Structure 1
Amino acid sequence: MAKHNIILTKQGKTANGTIQLTGSKSECNRALIIETLSDGKVKVENMSDAADAVLLRDILQLQARGNELVLVYTHTVKDNGEIVESGPEEAIGTHVKSEINIGPAGTAMRFLTAFLPLLNKNIVLTGSERMQQRPIGILVDAMRKLGATIDYEKNDGYPPINIQPGFEQQTNIIEIKGNISSQYITALLLIAAKLPQGLELHIQGELTSKPYVEMTLAMLNQAGIRHTWTDNVISIEHQDFAETTLLVEPDWSAASYWYAIAALSDEAELFLPGLTSYSLQGDSVITEIMANFGITSVFKDGGVYLTKEAKPVVRKIFDMKECPDLAQTVIVVCAALGHEATFTGLETLKIKETDRVLALQTELAKIGVKLIEKGQVYKLDCSERNLPQRMFISTYDDHRMAMAFAPLAILIPELEVEDAEVVSKSYPAFWIDLAKVGFQSEPIA
């Protein structure tokens, strides 16, 4: 699909308005798996319109027929995001093989790797070219130990994977490293209650992105699934889901871009309805982070009010271990303001939609800022910072690169953003919402 660039501009350095954010992609993806596993007992409200969540919903709906989980359709994602359904397939003898192509949806890849073996069907799970470069081996190894038969179609440790029928649980004890993507851990926890022997998950070492695991367990608890967490062991017994409705909160990751806009503005008064101070989402920590940049968060009237107060930024160290999806946003704000800071907890950024560390280094160089890597510590050098009159931003097929750099239009008269549609992965209305506070986006013919 051809990429369409835009020129983003902003008249004035103020931001005032009300922005209704879509439902949290993180919460929604978890809720959709829970809903499907519950055989209709759990319902989901305030569904996210993020492309990843819509894709996962559509795939899961094709699996759920009545109270039985079945797979008789092949569905592939076209370049424009459309899901093409072909089938029901005609079985040759008694064997039916289906392929699910999830495109660039990393969460769907991980959650489905754990979920699909429970269907007792032959399924090939694949994705985009970049998805086939993102590791899945740790989760496949765990599922194999549990009793799944999964083969690699191309390269060991990477999609596409061929899931065979005949899952029979062999053990309930799984050991997994804590410093990997938390989605591997979440994928296993989501299916735990459906396993005949339950699951005893032993986490080795320090747990990265702990709030995301806590979110998963909290949502399972809302759906009637109990757990124990003692030291580094999370245990979930085989049990039934309860009848309930999971209400998906607006997306704090999306909210972070509005905090960035406020931070780069001279004046800001923004209202984000639906967000609460007791969120399950780890990215709600953006309120604390952006307080360092003069942004006050006041929770009232069923949402949060953001206001800007001029103050010097004094915080020098930011640990992003528990909120890696905020890293690009915070790093770009620091760079734009010329604030030299040190960042830790960025280990998972290199296996995201793109190598986000390299992408940040490349794009920040365009404003004379260096992101220097020393082991697992990253330092901003703003000594040669220079904001040009016009700047081109490459987005690397990464929605967060586009949205993290977009606020620079407040400081740079013309900002050309590559592949504007990339934001649909998590925040389809992003450019529309920017227009509500005075940004103009013009497509480039």
Structure 2
Amino acid sequence: MDKLTLIANKQNSAVEINLPSSKSESNRLLIMQALANNSFRISGLSSAEDTILLQRALASTKPEVNVGMAGTAYRFLCAYFAIQEGKRVRLSGADRMHERPIGILVDALRKLGAQISYLEKEGYPPLEIVGKKLSGGELKVDASVSSQFVSALLLIAPYLSTTLKVGLSELVSKPYVDLTVSLMKRLNAEIHFKGKLITVIPSKYSSKVELEVEKDWSSAAFFYQMLALTNIPKITFVGLSENSLQGDRRLASVFESFGVKTVFTTTGVELIKGPEVQQSLTLDLTDCPDLIPSVAVTAAILCDFAEIKGVQTLRIKESDRVSALKNELDKIGVKVKELGKDTIQIIPKKEIDINLKVAFSTYNDHRMAMCLAPLAVLFNEVEIENPKVVSKSFPHFWEELEKCGVVKITS
């Protein structure tokens, strides 16, 4: 397996980072575009591996579709193929994908009339799906495992034969459902979200204008880390919006606790040094779990103590991110303590040995690779296993990190 050695040089000048487009927006828009028979155009699509895999799957005429590690694509395609009348598909993924539960979504689709079979373990991929015309109805969906199950149902709902009503319980990552609803409304779907009930009336997606995908807020997290941990005076992102539909825009307020101030401009965002770092920190990140790795790593260095709620869904991501954070932060003397299933405490070491040469594992998880990489500015040398894993969401990440003074040496 490839490894990347990172060595940091001092960077005391301003930096402009080119962020990727949002794959969350891209993937939703691609499903809607396919349902609308490509009747509208999308510009600025993400070049992330997940989005490319979804595009290939939507264009495929083969009886078997493998989406690798692309979890969002898998869940959205499960619902999409279920309404493709007469099409039979075997939908599979990487080994880790076959360990990630899909039963809640399959049960909901079956209640609408879908014909879906498990090919191996009950409740998990791979699946065989035979597309047919589906009806609406009333569903009660447990959204505590993944908001993507809800989004997958909503995306196909305008193309059901009758109205769909989805009652939600224990909704996690609500901003991602809000994103789905907002994009559907932008494409003229008739959808209403009130309290814990979502109602979708049969309609068609349409747009007279080209839709442009925003830059990705979650990818900015790793450079918020860089500003917090270094003497870089300013980092600029073009294309981020204060009024973004993306829930991970909460980065701006979260990283104030780490001394990073976000300034919104007419073209994007500028990060500068802000208030003092909060030494004791308690955060609930249930609505934006993708930010937790970056927050945990930053707190491990800058805080005396941190408690983070909302980690339950991290256990079924590309890796078990709770275990991964525990293992990797332990290598620099930082303890991660679990309080039940949904909360962790970060207990840093009083003094960190900057002469350490640290070899970090990444668990085939893009966010683990990227949240650990900024630690190169603190230690003598940092080694990152499987650096190509970043292609899942941020293919040019290492080139952007180099702008911050981090030199990469392939080994």
Indicate the TM-score class for this superposition, using the shorter chain for normalisation: over 0.9
Is 1:194 the counterpart of 2:170 in the alignment? Answer: no
**What is the aligned counterpart of 1:282 among 225, 228, 247?**
247
Deviation (angstroms), 1:387: 3.6
Q: Which residue of structure 1 lines up, in the alignment, with residue 101 of structure 2? A: 135
| Matched-pair contact (CA < 8 Å) for 2:279–2:303 | no
Q: Which residue of structure 2 lines up, in the alignment, with residue 6 of structure 1? A: 4
Moved over 6 A (4+): none
Deviation (angstroms), 1:58: 2.1
Is 1:176 the counterpart of 2:141 in the alignment? Answer: yes
Q: Give deviations 1:1-38, integer Å, cap 9, x for gaps.
A: xx211101111154621112110011111111111111
Is 1:51 the counterpart of 2:49 in the alignment? Answer: yes
Deviation (angstroms), 1:378: 1.1
**What is the aligned counterpart of 2:381 among 414, 425, 433?**
414
Q: How many angstroms apart in 1 are the aligned matches of 2:13 and 2:64?
A: 46
Q: Which residue of structure 2 lines up, in the alignment, with residue 245 of structure 1? A: 210
Q: Give deviations 1:259-295, integer Å, cap 9, x for gaps.
A: 0110111233111001110000000100000111111
**What is the aligned counterpart of 1:366 among 320, 323, 331?**
331
Deviation (angstroms), 1:175: 0.9
Matches within 5 A, 1:188-337: 188-204=153-169, 206-243=170-207, 244-309=209-274, 311-314=276-279, 316-337=281-302
Q: How many angstroms apart in 2 are the aligned matches of 1:305 and 1:355?
A: 33
Determine helix, strand or coil for the equivalent of 2:21: coil
Gaps of 5+ in 2: none
Give the stretch that moved more between structures: 223-232 or 427-436. 223-232
Q: Which amino acid in 1 is paired with 2:326?
A: Q
Give the stretch that moved more between structures: 104-113 or 34-43. 34-43
Q: Which amino acid in 2 is paired with 1:336?
A: I
Deviation (angstroms), 1:209: 0.6
Deviation (angstroms), 1:146: 0.7
Is 1:396 the counterpart of 2:357 in the alignment? Answer: no
Deviation (angstroms), 1:39: 1.6
Q: How many angstroms apart in 2 are the aligned matches of 1:171 and 1:235?
A: 10
Q: How many residues align?
A: 407
Q: Which amino acid in 1 is paired with 2:122?
A: D
Q: Which residue of structure 2 lines up, in the alignment, with residue 82 of structure 1? A: none
Q: Which amino acid in 2 is paired with 1:8?
A: L
| Matched-pair contact (CA < 8 Å) for 2:281–2:303 | no
Give the stretch that moved more between structures: 10-19 or 29-38. 10-19
Gaps of 5+ in 1: 63-71, 74-97
Determine helix, strand or coil for the equivalent of 1:125: strand
Q: Which residue of structure 2 lines up, in the alignment, with residue 100 of structure 1? A: 65
Q: Which residue of structure 2 lines up, in the alignment, with residue 158 of structure 1? A: 124
Q: How many angstroms apart in 1 are the aligned matches of 2:13 and 2:103?
A: 45
Q: Which residue of structure 1 lines up, in the alignment, with residue 15 of structure 2? A: 17
Q: Which amino acid in 2 is paired with 1:154?
A: E
Determine helix, strand or coil for the equivalent of 2:179: helix
Deviation (angstroms), 1:310: 6.5
Q: How many angstroms apart in 2 are the aligned matches of 1:287 and 1:270?
A: 13
Q: How many angstroms apart in 2 are the aligned matches of 1:173 and 1:51?
A: 35
Q: How many angstroms apart in 1 are the aligned matches of 2:380 and 2:14?
A: 19
Q: Which amino acid in 2 is paired with 1:119?
A: Q
Q: Give deviations 1:390-436, integer Å, cap 9, x for gaps.
A: 10010000000000001001111210000000000000000011112
Is 1:33 the counterpart of 2:53 in the alignment? Answer: no
| Matched-pair contact (CA < 8 Å) for 2:42–2:210 | yes
| Matched-pair contact (CA < 8 Å) for 2:15–2:403 | yes
Q: How many angstroms apart in 2 are the aligned matches of 1:414 and 1:374?
A: 32
Q: How many angstroms apart in 2 are the aligned matches of 1:25 and 1:387?
A: 37
Deviation (angstroms), 1:358: 0.3
Deviation (angstroms), 1:439: 1.2
Q: How many angstroms apart in 2 are the aligned matches of 1:401 and 1:131?
A: 17
Determine helix, strand or coil for the equivalent of 1:8: strand
Q: How many angstroms apart in 2 are the aligned matches of 1:191 and 1:363?
A: 40
Determine helix, strand or coil for the equivalent of 1:266: coil
Q: Which amino acid in 1 is paired with 2:346?
A: L
Q: Give deviations 1:69-126, integer Å, cap 9, x for gaps.
A: xxx32xxxxxxxxxxxxxxxxxxxxxxxx11011111111100011011112111000
Q: Percent identity?
A: 39
Q: How many angstroms apart in 1 are the aligned matches of 2:107 and 2:28?
A: 22
Q: How many angstroms apart in 1 are the aligned matches of 2:143 and 2:82?
A: 23
Deviation (angstroms), 1:171: 4.4
| Matched-pair contact (CA < 8 Å) for 2:280–2:304 | no
Q: Which amino acid in 1 is paired with 2:217?
A: W
TM-score, structure 2 normalization: 0.96
Q: How many angstroms apart in 1 are the aligned matches of 2:102 and 2:339?
A: 27
Q: Which residue of structure 2 lines up, in the alignment, with residue 61 of structure 1? A: 59
Q: How many angstroms apart in 1 are the aligned matches of 2:145 and 2:38?
A: 32
Give the stretch that moved more between structures: 342-351 or 239-248. 239-248
| Matched-pair contact (CA < 8 Å) for 1:267–1:309 | no
**What is the aligned counterpart of 2:110 among 144, 147, 160?**
144
TM-score, structure 1 normalization: 0.89
